[in-house]
Amino acid sequence: MASKKQQEIDGAQALVMTLDALGIEYVFGYSGGAALPIFDALETVKSKMKFVLTRHEQGATHMADGYARATGKPAVVLVTSGPGAGNTLTGIMTAQMDSVPMIIVTGQQVTWMLGKDAFQEADIFGITIPVVKHNYLVRETNDLPRIAREAYHIATTGRPGPVLIDVPKNVSQSPFTGELDAEMDLPGYHPEKGFDIEGATIEEAARLINLAKKPLILAGHGAMLSGAERELMELAVKMDAPVTSTLLGKGVFPESHDLSVGMLGMHGTAYANKAVCECDLLLNVGSRFDDRIIGQAPKFAAQARIIHIDIDVAEMSKMIETDVEIVGDAKTALKQLLPLVEKAKHKEWNEHINGYKKKFPLSYKKQGGLRMQQVLDEIHDLTGGSAIITTDVGQHQMWAAQFYTNDASFKWISSGGAGTMGFGFPSAIGAQFACPDETVIAVCGDGGFQMTLCELATAVIHKLPIKILVLNNHYLGMVRQWQELFFDNRESGVDLVGNPDFVKLAEAYGAKGINIKRPADVRKKLQEALDYNDGPVLINAECIKTDNVFPMIPAGAALEDMLIEPPKYKMEKPVGST
């Protein structure tokens, strides 16, 4: 760029130019005073970036999140200071918990007012430290391009995560006199430090794999992020080992494959959890052994030698003591491992697991009213399992995970670690922007949907053909299930009396609305929704109020204590994590 032109731009323009040059495609945001110079720069700088005005800052973060989970690339969230920045917290935390790259740019009061309780001043740098991979408070205009470049680099390399840049108004509107292509300065950031993916470690892992009689592979989000699908398939077939996946790993190994045992954990399949209990070798590829999958740590895979592949050295032995720690990129590690693993046949073990599959299949009753499982089962059937699914958090999420099986990566978008209600719908908007030609279905509960439903306006304006599936039981169903099982069925704070007429609500925003009330209508109505592509369509499915999700491992219990069906005895209150 010519130096003459550089002298004519301000910090905000330099920031927008840098983000554009980094290949950012979408900016989701909400304007405000302290961000005025940056919003102005979006108009004055000719860039390829598209700005999407949301209706709430939380929605903007979930949209950027959905975009990133569908593409692997970060989007930018642009909001103002104070409440604008504060409203992004839940979305940032959600991204951090699930290792999603994101760049959040917040406007800020002018530097000389910081610390003086000025209008819309919030210490968002301090507030967000625990929920970001890294953050910045920019004090020099000329630092903006370097910091933007560092933010992108940090967000997308190693274990991905959100990076926040707080930009005081005087910093963004002062003349920019520096270098647009200033080099990064990150002496403390070495995502490959501690990598151990060759030599003795890999040989030891291969030795244990070759000794195993009852091997099991656990595939997590990390396997997906590293693009290890092919290596994973090759290894699973070579080892002749069943493969289970975490909630966020759904699709990295095709769930329709004979070797797949589906999702494990609190509401995972009975056969996946039984495989964990009985295996003699567990190869974890890119999962952080979340508390929702391990139950009671000392009893998790108690008979197995455990090999853990993770890109983040701090995940090693955090939850589970392992036999071999392989720190590094999952794809590279599997590539190193493959030639050392002997081709095996574990006929007896696989037949044993298949026996469990036959004995404890995922199923639901077809009588007694409309069940969420049926709606999900039928939409899976109608879309051939190839739609992008986003979810909120609760019963509908677990049933969606069970009944909407995935055969490909980046098609399942759900808030795992943070468990953020209200995530489903806005993340679907982000995913639909990312993949305009794919069917995107937001599977929501009536509780979660109402937390971010204002984004209906955003979806309508952009004519996004999202299918919003509100599985409506007029309850916060998962909490009610726990109250039924562990608190003598005392309902407290779970009855969503006062729900709106969701179809009328959709119509009020200019979206299409469809009601489903009878099990017999499900297929026809879902097909009608799938055929409508002129904008968002909301399907309100009136489901029975008091269904429960099984299998279930009460929090803190061991996997072997899984409930496959409703218990016939009074349950003790779980003492484990929530």
Partner 1 sequence: MARTITTTDSKPKPRPDIIGGHTLSMYVNNKPGVLMRICQIFARRAYNIDSLVVSQGRDPRFSRLTLGISGDPAGLTQIILQCDKLIDVIHCHEHTPEDAVVRELALIKIKTENSERRTEILQIVEHFGGKTVDFSESSMIIRIEGASDKVDASVRLLNNYEIIETVRTGKVVMARGEQPT
Instruction: Say if residues 538 and 512 touch (Cβ distance below 8 Å).
Output: yes
Indicate the residue type of 6. Q
Q: Would you count residue 130 as binding partner 1 (CB under 8 A)? A: yes
Report the run of H or E that residue 413 belongs to, with start and end. strand 412-413
Q: Could you give the CA distance from residue 132 to residue 555 in angstroms, rounded to a whole number?
A: 27
Strand order from edge to edge, sheet including 537-542: 412-413, 388-391, 440-445, 467-472, 537-542, 512-516
Size of the site for partner 1 (CB under 8 A): 18
288 burial level (CB within 10 Å; 0-12, 13-18, 19+): buried
Residue with smaller CB distance to partner 1, 10 or 329 = 329
Q: Which of 56, 69, 133, 146 binds partner 1 (CB under 8 A)?
A: 133
Q: Which of 318, 365, 463, 545 binds partner 1 (CB under 8 A)?
A: 318
Indicate the residue type of 158. G
Part of the chain binding partner 1 (CB under 8 A), chosen from 266-274, 315-323, 344-352, 530-538: 315-323
Least gap, CB of 317 to partner 1 (angstroms):
7
Residue with smaller CB distance to partner 1, 312 or 491 = 312
How far is C-alpha 249 from the geometric centre of its chain's CA atoms?
10
- Cα Rg of the chain, angstroms: 24
Least gap, CB of 134 to partner 1 (angstroms):
5
Q: Which of 30, 39, 67, 125 binds partner 1 (CB under 8 A)?
A: 125
Q: Could you give the CA distance from residue 363 to residue 365 in angstroms, rounded to a whole number?
A: 7
Catalytic residue, chosen from 97, 239, 263, 478, is 478
Q: Specify whether 179 is catalytic.
A: no
Residue with smaller CB distance to partner 1, 133 or 250 = 133
Residue with smaller CB distance to partner 1, 33 or 194 = 194
Catalytic residue, chosen from 119, 198, 365, 545, is 119
Least gap, CB of 358 to partner 1 (angstroms):
42
Residue with smaller CB distance to partner 1, 128 or 397 = 128
Q: Site map for partner 1, 154-193, x if CB under 8 A? A: x-------------------------------xxxx----
Q: Specify whether 120 is catalytic.
A: yes
List Cα–Cα distances, 103 to 291, 331, 347, 512, in angstroms.
Answer: 28, 25, 48, 33
Part of the chain binding partner 1 (CB under 8 A), chosen from 214-222, 310-318, 367-375, 505-513: 310-318
Q: Which of 129, 211, 508, 544 binds partner 1 (CB under 8 A)?
A: 129
Q: Would you count residue 196 as binding partner 1 (CB under 8 A)? A: no
Q: Specify whether 169 is catalytic.
A: yes
Q: Could you give the CA distance from residue 221 to residue 209 in angstroms, rounded to a whole number?
A: 22
Report the run of H or E that residue 43 belongs to, with start and end. helix 36-44
CB neighbours of residue 573 within 10 Å: 11
Least gap, CB of 325 to partner 1 (angstroms):
12
Instruction: Please report the beta strands in 169-239, taking only residues with DSSP state E, as ranges in sequence order.
Output: 215-219
Q: Which of 83, 126, 361, 436 binds partner 1 (CB under 8 A)?
A: 126
Q: Which of 7, 44, 303, 317 binds partner 1 (CB under 8 A)?
A: 317
Nearest to 414 by CA among 181, 75, 66: 66
Catalytic residue, chosen from 13, 57, 93, 395, is 57
What 3-state class would DSSP assign to 452? helix
Residue with smaller CB distance to partner 1, 304 or 316 = 316
Q: Which of 1, 184, 211, 314 binds partner 1 (CB under 8 A)?
A: 314
Residue with smaller CB distance to partner 1, 58 or 81 = 81
Q: Could you give the CA distance from residue 540 to residue 474 in angstroms, rounded to a whole number?
A: 11
Q: Could you give the CA distance from residue 59 to residue 90 in angstroms, rounded to a whole number?
A: 10
Catalytic residue, chosen from 120, 203, 234, 491, is 120
Instruction: Say if residues 274 and 208 touch (Cβ distance below 8 Å).
Output: no
Q: Could you give the CA distance from residue 333 to residue 196 in angstroms, rounded to a whole number?
A: 9
Indicate the residue type of 59. G
**DSSP letter (8 states) at residue 552:** B
Nearest to 24 by CA among 91, 103, 100, 123: 103
Q: Specify whether 57 is catalytic.
A: yes
Least gap, CB of 402 to partner 1 (angstroms):
33
Q: Site map for partner 1, 73-112, x if CB under 8 A? A: ----------------------------------------
Q: Which residues pair with 442 in a beta bridge?
A: 390, 468
Part of the chain binding partner 1 (CB under 8 A), chosen from 123-131, 401-409, 442-450, 533-541: 123-131
Q: Specify whether 173 is catalytic.
A: no
Least gap, CB of 225 to partner 1 (angstroms):
17
Nearest to 249 by CA among 226, 281, 277: 226
Least gap, CB of 133 to partner 1 (angstroms):
8
What 3-state class would DSSP assign to 241? coil
Residue with smaller CB distance to partner 1, 56 or 149 = 149
- Location of structure tokens 């964990």: 276
Nearest to 59 by CA among 27, 91, 89: 91
Strand order from edge to edge, sheet including 215-219: 260-263, 243-245, 215-219, 281-285, 305-310, 324-327
Residue with smaller CB distance to partner 1, 130 or 339 = 130
Least gap, CB of 127 to partner 1 (angstroms):
11
Least gap, CB of 114 to partner 1 (angstroms):
11
Q: Which of 56, 62, 69, 134 binds partner 1 (CB under 8 A)?
A: 134
Part of the chain binding partner 1 (CB under 8 A), chosen from 53-61, 131-139, 210-218, 400-408: 131-139
Part of the chain binding partner 1 (CB under 8 A), chosen from 121-129, 225-233, 460-468, 528-536: 121-129
Residue with smaller CB distance to partner 1, 327 or 393 = 327
CB neighbours of residue 244 within 10 Å: 30
Catalytic residue, chosen from 133, 169, 274, 331, is 169
List Cα–Cα distances, 398 to 363, 548, 551, in angstroms.
Answer: 13, 10, 10
Residue with smaller CB distance to partner 1, 154 or 443 = 154
> Hey, which residues are catalytic here?
57, 119-120, 169, 478
| Sites of contact with partner 1 (CB under 8 A) | 125-126, 129-130, 133-134, 137, 154, 186-189, 312-314, 316-318
